[in-house]
Structure 1
């Protein structure tokens, strides 16, 4: 019997494989999920490296949050955070959560936040929320719902002492945003490590830039296509 959402499964598996190449995975922990329609959610199975993910071993949950295809188990913390976030925030079609080194370093600094010192950072201006409340691992629905409410309509959430989540409408944009976010966090951490004062872009200039029509980012689709070309050549089994 053919698996459902095979095109989405292939793209999602590609995202996991590429994130593994970028060094984003932490053992077998951390989770990406995709609400592929009004009811169904794809998520990575418990116990696999991201570098082992294939289209067919991704778990599919139904509208009652039962596993109906793919792997046979989902890690608890993924279930309790991702599922309520998808259900409570319809715009959050994609949720990417990882403990990437530079974004997580920023989340571990007291009152750490993005500083608007680079044109690249402005992509996220007005789209970031900081969850300063740390309650340890999420092992019940109540904490997951709190996190979902905190996220609201934001695109990026830094989670104190923890990591970062990126949400989006499709996998190509969400993965591209996570890539740019982690890269900017790296630049900011490097700049701060100099001990020199950061050169913050003036508010008036930020307002001027943000008032410009943004339109569709023409780099996103070619970026994701390039990722899949490399994987098709070097790790074609991700499509299985």
Structure 2
């Protein structure tokens, strides 16, 4: 008998569990904080999110909780999510239906970027160009992302072209149409931030791409055939061999 027969969206749950497990392997998690979510209905208001207090490396497909962004009693549930996860992700899924998958972390290099007086990410290479004209910097940190702060952050993602938020004095957040798209973006954001920070550390002038080349490269990333899907598929294959518990 399948002990998870009452759970829906099983393949999507497994994809999201892969993202949690691999984020932990990369050291991009932080204690039992940070959160990923995935919309399940067309309106985006019903979504999966990680359970409160669970380490990313221990997330499984079945441990993900399904909640409703329009349910005011969510935090009264016995399996209520972290209050900041509810404040941030609930607000985004309630107001931004295009944000199907939302990933928020305090990864080292991206958070260093968020801590600079100027947190913009110039297009200095192919990876940083992925975010050209697609990134917004939040310069008005108002404390932890409880409900009011979550609503304020969500308002900055109303333009579907914006896929990435550098949350000044906080961390970073990416959105995507799928788990694969969002995770690929999160991975490359951390790589891009590291490249930029290391370039700054040299103290030498940056070679910034011209606007037309940066925009062309960003579009090429968006239309690169099957790249994000292949990335997640390979991670899933590795975990199937080395850490198959994610899929349970």
Normalising by the smaller structure, the TM-score range is: over 0.9
8 A contact 2:69–2:93 mirrored in 1: no
8 A contact 2:133–2:215 mirrored in 1: no
Name the residue aligned to 2:181. Answer: 173
Which structure 2 residue ranges, 5 or more long, are not aligned? none
Aligned residues: 237
How much is the aligned-residue C-alpha RMSD, in angstroms?
Answer: 2.0
Alignment pair present for 1:147 and 2:170:
no
Q: Distance in 2 between matches of 1:210 and 1:75?
A: 34
Alignment pair present for 1:81 and 2:88:
yes
Q: Distance in 2 between matches of 1:211 and 1:228?
A: 27
Which structure 1 residue ranges, 5 or more long, are not aligned? none
For residue 209 of structure 1, report the CA deviation from its aligned partner.
Answer: 5.0
Name the residue aligned to 2:55. Answer: 49
For residue 217 of structure 1, report the CA deviation from its aligned partner.
Answer: 3.4
Q: Distance in 1 between matches of 2:78 and 2:11?
A: 18
Q: Distance in 2 between matches of 1:182 and 1:163?
A: 11
Within 5 Å, give how 1:201-240 maps onto structure 2.
201-206=209-214, 209=217, 215-240=223-248
Q: Distance in 1 between matches of 2:218 and 2:37?
A: 30
8 A contact 2:47–2:68 mirrored in 1: yes
Q: Normalising to structure 2: TM-score of the pair? A: 0.89
Alignment equivalent of 2:99, drawn from 92, 103, 114? 92
Residues 115-172 of structure 1: per-residue CA shift (max 9 Å, x gap): 1111222111111000000111122x32211111112221000011100000000000
For residue 63 of structure 1, report the CA deviation from its aligned partner.
Answer: 5.6
Q: Distance in 2 between matches of 1:94 and 1:72?
A: 21
Q: Distance in 2 between matches of 1:81 and 1:213?
A: 27
For residue 231 of structure 1, report the CA deviation from its aligned partner.
Answer: 0.6
Alignment pair present for 1:119 and 2:126:
yes
8 A contact 1:58–1:71 mirrored in 2: no
Distance change >3 Å, CA 197–CA 14, structure 1 → 2: same
Q: Distance in 2 between matches of 1:127 and 1:175?
A: 16
Name the residue aligned to 1:102. Answer: 109
Residues 53-84 of structure 1: per-residue CA shift (max 9 Å, x gap): 001110111364366xx981210001011011
8 A contact 2:21–2:58 mirrored in 1: yes
Distance change >3 Å, CA 209–CA 46, structure 1 → 2: closer
Distance change >3 Å, CA 120–CA 199, structure 1 → 2: same
Indicate the SS of the match to 2:137: strand
Name the residue aligned to 2:21. Answer: 17
Alignment pair present for 1:200 and 2:212:
no
Q: Normalising to structure 1: TM-score of the pair? A: 0.92
